[in-house]
C-alpha cells in the first residue's frame, strides 16, 4: 500500500515537473500562454527527446543486465560502445565492408570485449568490495580511451551514412536513424524479456541474480552464466554502437558524453530492473531535450543530473527497484 | 613529532635545493606534483574510510573557478576569493553529503551520486560559457606589471616562490592527515566503515562523523583547485571537473596507497612522472599511452595490490619486523624457560 502510494506520487510529481519545464520558461520569456503552448518547435524537441530516450534505453539495457546479474558497475560500458562504433566505422569506411556485415561484426567485437572484461578482470574481483570492482572498470575506461586515441587518433570521424528524415507535420521532421534506434531499443527490451522469462538460460540467469550462493549450491554454473551475461551485455553495447554511429561522430572521448547518464539511468530505474531503466531513460531524455530547448544542451544535462541526485535521496532503490 | 620528522627534513632539503637553484623544468614538475599530492591527500581522507567519492572534480572545479571568476569579474584578491571558494565547496559538500549520509547512501550508490555531482559542475561551467569560457577554458587576468603587487594577486613570476608555497601547502596537507589519523574521528569512521549499524548502535553519530570528514576533504580538494589555477593561470572544465579528473584522483591515490600518509604523494609522483617521461621520451606520437598504462596499472593494482604500492611495501616491511620481533620474543621466553 505504502509502496504504491509513493509511486503514484512520483508519477504526479514527475508529470507536473515535465509540464512546468515544458511551458513555464516560454511563458516567462514571452509572457504569452497561447504562444508558449502552440510552439511547434517545443513539440519537435519533445519528440526528439522521446527518440533520444530510445537510444539511452538501449544503452542502459546491456549495462542493466550486467548490473542485475553480476552485480558489478561497468564504468567503462560507454567506452565499449565507443570501440564498437570505431569497429563499424573502420570496417565500413576504411575497408569497404557493407554495413549489413559491418554492424553484426561490430556487435561480435563488443560481445568479445564484454566476455574478455569479465574473464580477465571482473572474475578476479567478484569477492572484493563493490567499490574496487567499480574502480577496476574505471581503469578499463582509461585503457579503452587511450587505446582508441593511440590506434585511431583524436579526429572526429563520421560514417557518412545518413538515413535521412521524414516530415511528421509541415514543421516537424523526424530522423529515421533516431526512429530506428527507438524501435530497436523497444524490440530489444521485448526480446530480452522473452529471453529471460521463456528460456532455460534466461531462467538460470534470473535465478542466479536473485541468490548467488544458493543457486551455486543447487548446481548452477555461476561462472558460465556470468560470462554469458557479460557477453550479451557487450553485444548490446555493440547494438547501441550500430545506432549511435549513424547519428554521431566517433572520437575516443565520445563515451564520456553519454557514459555517466547511462549509469544514472540504470540506478534511477532500479539496478537490474529493465522496465525501470526504460522509464528512467525517457525521464532523462525529456529533461535533456526540454532543458536543451529552452536553455542550453548543457543545462539539460545539469537538470538531469540534479534530478538524479535528488531522486537518490527520495528513492535510493530506484523508481521500480526493491531495496536490498 | 614522530612520523613527521621525515617530511620536514625532506621539505627543508627541497627548499634549500630550490634556493640554490634548480632548472625551471624540474622545479615546475615538483610544484605540480606537490599541489596534486595535496589534493590527493584530501581525497584519501575520505577514501580510506570507504567513502569513495567520484565527485571530487566538483569541489576542485568550484575552488578553481570561484577564485578565478571573483578575481576577473569582481577584482577580488585571491586572499578573499579563496576563502569564499572554500566556503562554497564546503556548502556543496554539505548539500550533497548530508542527505547522502542521512539516507544511508553508501558503496557504489555513493560513488554514482558524487559522479553526478562532478558532471553537474562540469556541465554548468560549460553552459555558462559567456562568463567561464566554456570548454575552451578560462585564464585569470594577469596582474598589471605596475600597480598590483604579486602577493595581492597571488601571482608570482618566479618559480621558486611557487615552489616554497607548494612545499608549505603539501606539509599542511600532511599535518591535516596526521591530525585526522590521531583523532577520535578516525576511530569513529573506522568503526562506521566496518559496520554502520553497529557503529550507530554504539552511539556514534554516523551522519555527523561522515559529514565532517567530507567537508574537510572537499575544502582541501577545493584549495588544491585554487592553487592549481593560481599556478597554471589556466583552467578548463575537463582539467578540474568531470569523470576523467575524478577517476584520475582516485587512481593516483589507489596506486600510491590509500591507507598511508605518503601514499597519495607517492601516487602523485609516479603518475605525473610517468606522464612526463612518456611525453619526453616517446613524444607526441604516443598521446594517450600514459593513460593506457594508467588504466592497466589501475586494474592490476586493484586485483593484486589493493593497498597500493607504498601500502604494500610498508605492510611487507611491517611483517618482516613483526617476524623478527616475534622470533626475538620467542627466543627470549625460551631463554627464560631454560
> Per residue in B223-275, pLDDT tens?
999 999 999 888 888 888 878 888 888 888 888 888 888 889 998 998 888 87
Q: Domain residue spans in chain A?
A: 39-154+176-314
Chain position carrying cell 562504433:
A85
Chain A residues with CB under 8 Å of B46 CB are none
Which residue in the set B96, B127, B247 is minimally distant from A141, CB to CB?
A: B247
- Round the average pLDDT of chain B to a whole number and report it: 83
For B296-321, b/e burial (b = at least 16 CB within 10 A) is: bbbbebbbebbbbbbbbebbeeeeee
The predicted pLDDT at position B331 comes to 59
Least confident of A14-23, B71-80, B262-271: A14-23
Chain B residues with CB under 8 Å of A141 CB are 247, 295
3-state secondary structure of B142: coil
pLDDT band with cut points at 50, 70 and 90 for residue B215: very high
Q: How far is it, in rounded angstroms, from Cα B154 to Cα B151?
A: 5
- Written as one string, the DSSP assignment of A147-166 is HHHHHH-S--B-------EE
Between positions 38 and 97 of B, the ones with CB within 8 A of A are 50, 52, 96
Domain interval for residue B334: 308-338
pLDDT band with cut points at 50, 70 and 90 for residue A25: confident
Residue A173 DSSP label: E
Q: What is the pLDDT of residues A268-280, one digit of tens each?
A: 887 777 778 888 8
Evaluate if residue A2 carries a pLDDT over 60.
no
Q: How far is it, in rounded angstroms, from Cα B48 to Cα B42?
A: 11
Which residue in the set B115, B254, B290 is minimally distant from A135, CB to CB?
A: B254
pLDDT band with cut points at 50, 70 and 90 for residue B188: confident
Q: What is the CATH number of domain A39-154+176-314?
A: 1.10.3470
Residue with the larger pLDDT of the pair A161 and A310: A310
Chain A residues with CB under 8 Å of B99 CB are 313
The predicted pLDDT at position A83 comes to 94
Which residue in the set B102, B120, B243 is minimally distant from A306, CB to CB?
A: B120
Question: Is there a single domain that holds both residue B259 and residue B314?
Answer: no
Chain position carrying cell 621520451:
B281
Question: Is there a single domain that holds both residue B292 and residue B314?
Answer: no
The predicted pLDDT at position A155 comes to 82
Evaluate if residue A29 carries a pLDDT over 50.
yes
The predicted pLDDT at position A324 comes to 44
Question: Is there a single domain that holds both residue B84 and residue B104?
Answer: yes
Least confident of B15-29, B121-135, B239-253, B308-322: B308-322
Per mean pLDDT, which of A186-200, B153-167, B282-296 is the most reliable? A186-200
The predicted pLDDT at position B286 comes to 66
For A84-118, b/e burial (b = at least 16 CB within 10 A) is: bbbbbbbbbbeeeeebeebbeebbbbbbebbbebb
Question: Is there a single domain that holds both residue B160 and residue B188?
Answer: yes
How crowded is residue B24: how many other Cβ atoms within 10 Å of its Cβ? 13
Question: Is there a single domain that holds both residue B316 and residue B227?
Answer: no
Least confident of A119-128, B168-177, B316-325: B316-325
Least confident of A121-135, B112-126, B207-221, B315-329: B315-329
Q: How far is it, in rounded angstroms, from Cα B166 to Cα B11?
A: 10
Strand partners, A174: A166
Which residues fall within 8 angstroms of residue B219, CB to CB, at 6 or more apart? B42, B59, B86, B89, B90, B93
Q: How far is it, in rounded angstroms, from Cα B147 to Cα B110?
A: 48
- Answer yes or no: do B116 and A309 touch at CB < 8 A: yes
Reported ipTM: the value is 0.81
Cβ atoms of B31 and B163 closer than 8 Å: yes
Evaluate if residue B336 carries a pLDDT over 50.
no
Evaluate if residue B326 carries a pLDDT over 70.
no
Question: Is there a single domain that holds both residue B261 and residue B228?
Answer: yes
Percent of chain B residues topping a pLDDT of 70: 86
- Written as one string, the DSSP assignment of B151-192 is HHHT--S-HHHHHHHHHHHHHHHHHHHHHHHTSHHHHHHHHH
Which residues fall within 8 angstroms of residue B297, CB to CB, at 6 or more apart? A139, B255
Evaluate if residue A1 carries a pLDDT over 60.
no
Question: Is there a single domain that holds both residue B101 and residue B184?
Answer: yes
Residue B77 DSSP label: -
CA angle B299, B248, A231 (to 5 degrees): 40
Chain position carrying cell 562540469:
B122
Percent of chain A residues topping a pLDDT of 90: 13
The predicted pLDDT at position B214 comes to 94
Between positions 169 and 228 of A, the ones with CB within 8 A of B are none
Residue B135 DSSP label: G
The predicted pLDDT at position A237 comes to 92
pLDDT band with cut points at 50, 70 and 90 for residue B85: very high
Task: Work out how many domains chain B is built from and give that number.
Answer: 2
Question: Is there a single domain that holds both residue B186 and residue B318?
Answer: no
Question: Is there a single domain that holds both residue B207 and residue B335?
Answer: no
pLDDT band with cut points at 50, 70 and 90 for residue B146: low
The predicted pLDDT at position B66 comes to 93
What's the rounded mean pLDDT across residues B277-304? 77
Whether A308 has its CB under 8 Å from any CB of chain B: the answer is: yes
Evaluate if residue A22 carries a pLDDT over 80.
no
- Answer yes or no: do A142 and B52 touch at CB < 8 A: no
Whether A74 has its CB under 8 Å from any CB of chain B: the answer is: no
Best residue of B43, B113, B136 to probe chain A, by most A CBs closer than 10 Å: B113
Evaluate if residue B118 carries a pLDDT over 80.
yes
The predicted pLDDT at position B337 comes to 39
What's the rounded mean pLDDT across residues A29-57? 80
Question: Is there a single domain that holds both residue B213 and residue B312?
Answer: no
The predicted pLDDT at position A321 comes to 59
Q: Where is A298: in which H helix or E strand?
A: helix A297-314
The predicted pLDDT at position B109 comes to 83
Question: Is there a single domain that holds both residue B134 and residue B30?
Answer: yes
| Residue B145 to chain A, least CA–CA distance (Å) | 38
* Residues A70, A72, A76, A81, CA torsion sign: positive
Q: What is the pLDDT of residues B9-46, one digit of tens each?
A: 777 777 676 666 677 788 889 899 999 999 999 999 99
Cβ atoms of B45 and B220 closer than 8 Å: yes
The predicted pLDDT at position B135 comes to 81
Residue with the larger pLDDT of the pair B338 and A253: A253
Amino acid at each position: 500500500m505504502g509502496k504504491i502510494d509513493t509511486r503514484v506520487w512520483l508519477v504526479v510529481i514527475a508529470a507536473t515537473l515535465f509540464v512546468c519545464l515544458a511551458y513555464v520558461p516560454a511563458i516567462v520569456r514571452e509572457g504569452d500562454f497561447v504562444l508558449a503552448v502552440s510552439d511547434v518547435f517545443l513539440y519537435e524537441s519533445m519528440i526528439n527527446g522521446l527518440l533520444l530516450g530510445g537510444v539511452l534505453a538501449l544503452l542502459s539495457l546491456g549495462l542493466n543486465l550486467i548490473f542485475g546479474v553480476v552485480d558489478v558497475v561497468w564504468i567503462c560500458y560507454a567506452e565499449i560502445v565507443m570501440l564498437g562504433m570505431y569497429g563499424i566505422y573502420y570496417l565500413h569506411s576504411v575497408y569497404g565492408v557493407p554495413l549489413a556485415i559491418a554492424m553484426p561484426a561490430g556487435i561480435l567485437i563488443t560481445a568479445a570485449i564484454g566476455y574478455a572484461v569479465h574473464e580477465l578482470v571482473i572474475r578476479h574481483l567478484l569477492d572484493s568490495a563493490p567499490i574496487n570492482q567499480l574502480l577496476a572498470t574505471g581503469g578499463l575506461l582509461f585503457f579503452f580511451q587511450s587505446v582508441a586515441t593511440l590506434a585511431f587518433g583524436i579526429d572526429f570521424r563520421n560514417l557518412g551514412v545518413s538515413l535521412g528524415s521524414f516530415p511528421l507535420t509541415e514543421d516537424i521532421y523526424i530522423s529515421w536513424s533516431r526512429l530506428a534506434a527507438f524501435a530497436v531499443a523497444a524490440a530489444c527490451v521485448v526480446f530480452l524479456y522473452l529471453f529471460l522469462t521463456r528460456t532455460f538460460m534466461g531462467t538460470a540467469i534470473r535465478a542466479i541474480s536473485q541468490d548467488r550462493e544458493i543457486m551455486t549450491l543447487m548446481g548452477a554454473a555461476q561462472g558460465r552464466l556470468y560470462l554469458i551475461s557479460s557477453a550479451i551485455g557487450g553485444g548490446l553495447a555493440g547494438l547501441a554502437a550500430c545506432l549511435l554511429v549513424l547519428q554521431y561522430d566517433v572520437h575516443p572521448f565520445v563515451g564520456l558524453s553519454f557514459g555517466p547518464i547511462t549509469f544514472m539511468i540504470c540506478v534511477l530505474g532500479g539496478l537490474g530492473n529493465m522496465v525501470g531503466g526504460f522509464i528512467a531513460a525517457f525521464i532523462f531524455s525529456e529533461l535533456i531535450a526540454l532543458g536543451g530547448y529552452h536553455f542550453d544542451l548543457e543545462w539539460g544535462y545539469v537538470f538531469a543530473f540534479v534530478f538524479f541526485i535528488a531522486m537518490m535521496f527520495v528513492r535510493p532503490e530506484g523508481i521500480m527497484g526493491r531495496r536490498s | 613529532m614522530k612520523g613527521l620528522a621525515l617530511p620536514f627534513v625532506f621539505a627543508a632539503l627541497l627548499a634549500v635545493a630550490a634556493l640554490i637553484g634548480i632548472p625551471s623544468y624540474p622545479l615546475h614538475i615538483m610544484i605540480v606534483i606537490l599541489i596534486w599530492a595535496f589534493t590527493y591527500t584530501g581525497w584519501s581522507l575520505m577514501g580510506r574510510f570507504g567513502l569513495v567519492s567520484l565527485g571530487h572534480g566538483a569541489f576542485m572545479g568550484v575552488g578553481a573557478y570561484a577564485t578565478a571568476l571573483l578575481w576577473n569579474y569582481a577584482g577580488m584578491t585571491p586572499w578573499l576569493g579563496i576563502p569564499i571558494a572554500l566556503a562554497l565547496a564546503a556548502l556543496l559538500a554539505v548539500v550533497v553529503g548530508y542527505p547522502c549520509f542521512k539516507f544511508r547512501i553508501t558503496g557504489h550508490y555513493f560513488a554514482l551520486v558524487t559522479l553526478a555531482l562532478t558532471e553537474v559542475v562540469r556541465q554548468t561551467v560549460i553552459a555558462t560559457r559567456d562568463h567561464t569560457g566554456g570548454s575552451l577554458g578560462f585564464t585569470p587576468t594577469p596582474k598589471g606589471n605596475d600597480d598590483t603587487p604579486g602577493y595581492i594577486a597571488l601571482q608570482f613570476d618566479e618559480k621558486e616562490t611557487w615552489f616554497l608555497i607548494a612545499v608549505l601547502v603539501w606539509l599542511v596537507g600532511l599535518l591535516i592527515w596526521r591530525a585526522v589519523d590521531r583523532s577520535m574521528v578516525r576511530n569513529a569512521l573506522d568503526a562506521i566503515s566496518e559496520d554502520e549499524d553497529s557503529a550507530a548502535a554504539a552511539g556514534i553519530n554516523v551522519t555527523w562523523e561522515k559529514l565532517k570528514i567530507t567537508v574537510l576533504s572537499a575544502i582541501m580538494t577545493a584549495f588544491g583547485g585554487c592553487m592549481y589555477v593560481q599556478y597554471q593561470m589556466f583552467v578548463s572544465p575537463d582539467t578540474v571537473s568531470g569523470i576523467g579528473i575524478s577517476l584520475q584522483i582516485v587512481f593516483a591515490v589507489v596506486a600510491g596507497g590509500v591507507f598511508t600518509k605518503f601514499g597519495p604523494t607517492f601516487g602523485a609522483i609516479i603518475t605525473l612522472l610517468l606522464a612526463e617521461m612518456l611525453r619526453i621520451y616517446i613524444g607526441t606520437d604516443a598521446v594517450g599511452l600514459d593513460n593506457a598504462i594508467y588504466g592497466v596499472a589501475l586494474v592490476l593494482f586493484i586485483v593484486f595490490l589493493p593497498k597500493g604500492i607504498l601500502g604494500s611495501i610498508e605492510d611487507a616491511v611491517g611483517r618482516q619486523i613483526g617476524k623478527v620481533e616475534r622470533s626475538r620474543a620467542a627466543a627470549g621466553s625460551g631463554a627464560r624457560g631454560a
